[in-house]
Structure 1
Amino acid sequence: MEQYAGTVDPEDHLETFKSLLFFQAALDAIMCRAFPSTLKGAARQWFNRLPPRSLSNFTDLGRAFLAHFVSSRVHKKIAANLLAIKQRPNESIRGFLTRFNKEALEVRNLDPIVKFQALRSGIRDVELKKSLIMDELGDMYELFSRCEKYINLAEVLTAEKEDKTEKKAQEREETPREVGAKRSRDDKEGRKKKDDGKAWVPKAADLESEPDYMALTHTRAHILNEIKDQVTLRWPAKMVKPVHERNKNKYCHFHQDHGHNTEECRQLKDEIEALI
């Protein structure tokens, strides 16, 4: 065992020594002779200064040892200290149990009934408190089992709440413009298109209202010139409006025909938006 120098609790050292010697069924005289070997520094000096024949047995030696090093004795808590422990606001059940058990270990000769009552009265969680009142528990094992169930439940609910909060945060990050662009892409994906690469024809419903397009830094004619050779670009079908009804003063480079300007072309707007 570790030698004692007078700076820690003397009672812990004495009890440890007694436990080891009692286990070996040592005689009282052997214990008196062996005890000095567990001392060092100031404690060894104290023992060496004891007057000869001043102590008659190990009990007297133990009392003298505790009396001399009483200033190093650790204050032992009593049951009243345990009864004062309450679950703090916003403290989890697990955190309260950990703190309660740590305090309970410092109470000497703690009565199990007192410990049971102290723990039950210290719980402030409303739902757990209701459960303990409605269903009387018999001992500490049942009380800890009930607390463990509520701990698991609370952790599961907390994890689910965090998942919902994270999803809501992600949804808020999407701006209305991004939502509109997403809807526009979804609409275009729903249009029928043959696998042989034939051009697509927009529905009349697509021309009724114009969505909120993404702001561009260049003209659509310039962008068309940059992307015209890309495989992903879908060229439109021929205009369905009769030739004699078209405006000959306007030309669309996307349709490669007269009728409207390139900047006004709804199908080019949709295609650029989809590529974005």
Structure 2
Amino acid sequence: METPKMMGDMYSVQQGVNEHPRTFLRRYLKLVRQINNVVKTVATNLFRESLQNGSLLSEQLYLNPPRDLANIQLRSEEVFKILEIREEEARRTALITKLAEGNPPLKDKRDKRRPEQPLLKRGEKEEQNVYEKMAKKKYPHIETIVPMNHIYNESKDKPIWRNPFKINSLIERRDHNKYCPFHKDVSHTLPECRSLYNQVNHILRTDGLPQYVKNTHNVAQ
């Protein structure tokens, strides 16, 4: 049977300033398991509130609140993978910097491509041209009843979304405090995602998701 102290610990627990989110998640779940008949929604909300403000995990759970602790564990694994990539990139960058200080590498004049612009296959180029034309075409503004990122969060399980192109910029040049669930990568937030904006704009203009359109007369091609 749980003690008042255990219940108090669940309400007062906080992630440490330098505590890895994986370590904190394990510590929190261990505490919850010691409490009998714990209310799942309360435990789920308390975990979200106990995270460090501005952290990657906190931002992801804030944009799309979790249903339960199992959902938190599943989505946390995605964040852990991103953090592992950050750590690996930081180690690699530090090693490259150290080597460059002792022996600056020579520029390879044979490769004229910028590293942030990888070669695309023929099919990928054709598909990219379609989206570039969509982005450049001037459409009247479509008023929606909710922001476009909310439309994605509420409809992301429907088979209407195309995988966005990978972010081409070097990972060390991106804003690692921002995470885009649509790209599943760091660089920008969901409301800032231009790929999402273009796809939502296209879907609304092809009579997809009409329930989100405020003024249907603005959707005319």
TM-score computed with the length of structure 1 as normaliser: 0.34
Structure label with greater radius of gyration: 1
TM-score by length of 2: 0.42
Greater relative contact order (Cα 8 A, min sep 6): structure 1 or 2? 2
